[in-house]
Amino acid sequence: MKIAVTINEGPYQHQASDSAYLFCKAALEKGHEIRRVFFYNDGVNNASSLTEPPQDDRNIVARWSKLAEDHKLDLVVCVAAALRRGIRDENLAAGFRISGLGQLVEAGIEADRLVTFGD
């Protein structure tokens, strides 16, 4: 099954990013294809290379980067939402790219399911 994922919440204010990460990891382990992960609204904060969690906390941004590297995932950050929050190409974490809402529409069309995490 081809799955597209949307994340609308930041990495440390809401459980959405953790849940989406675990969902993607489990889906990949079961042999499903993650067509694209689209970060929208406050979800774009998952892509910031400026995030520095305490050593005893999970590094959500690094988790996404590693998952993208290991499985060749397409992690897309909404350009308008990113710019509103001061996120630009130069401070994106590894594996993320900035693009427009058309990428979300395309992923929804190409996927069998579109799963959204967060409000």
Which among 46, 55, 39 has a CA at the least distance from the CA of 116? 39
> Are 44 and 82 in contact, with CB atoms under 8 Å apart?
yes
Q: How many CB atoms lie within 10 A of CB 112?
A: 11
Active site amino acids: 78
